[in-house]
Amino acid sequence: MALVLTDNNFQNQVLDSDKLCVVDFWATWCGPCLMIAPIIEQLADEYEGKAVIGKVDVDNNQHVAHKYGVRNIPTILFIKNGQVVDKQVGAVPKNVLEAKIRQHI
């Protein structure tokens, strides 16, 4: 299951992690976000222990979204060692996200 990431736990769960972190910035009212939600959950299960997969609700966690300049959702950031190493904006098929994960894991 994907982690619920917030303004309060982002530092600990993502920036301080020694694993690749895949962070989905989304909102409940966003159609494309809801389309990829099952894919994010599948990736969280498949990469458990190898990568951190989490979701940030941009309506309730505006500080993190603002810090990373998230203007469109869904935006998926790939963060390693506290740095953004890749980015995907918009809904894409699972294989696109998997390729990015494999590239950076």
Confidence of residue 89 (pLDDT cuts 50, 70, 90): very high
Answer yes or no: is 73 within a domain.
yes
What pLDDT, on a 0 to 100 scale, did the predictor assign at position 85?
A: 98
- The chain-wide mean pLDDT, for the chain, equals 97
Q: DSSP letters of 49-94?
A: TTEEEEEEETTT-HHHHHHTT--SSSEEEEEETTEEEEEEES---H
Q: What total number of domains does the chain contain? A: 1
* Distance (Å, whole) CA 16 – CA 19: 9
Answer yes or no: is 100 within a domain.
no
**pLDDT tens figures, 39-73:** 999 999 999 999 999 999 999 999 999 999 999 99
Give catalytic residue positions: 30, 33
What pLDDT, on a 0 to 100 scale, did the predictor assign at position 78?
A: 98
Answer yes or no: is 97 within a domain.
no
Expressed as residue numbers, the domain containing 74 is 3-89
What pLDDT, on a 0 to 100 scale, did the predictor assign at position 79?
A: 98
What pLDDT, on a 0 to 100 scale, did the predictor assign at position 5?
A: 98
* Sole residue written with tokens 């950031």: 77
Answer yes or no: is 104 within a domain.
no
Q: Which of 12, 2, 3, 21 is nearest to 80 (CA)?
A: 21
Question: How crowded is residue 41: how many other Cβ atoms within 10 Å of its Cβ?
Answer: 15
CATH (domain of 31)? 3.40.30.10
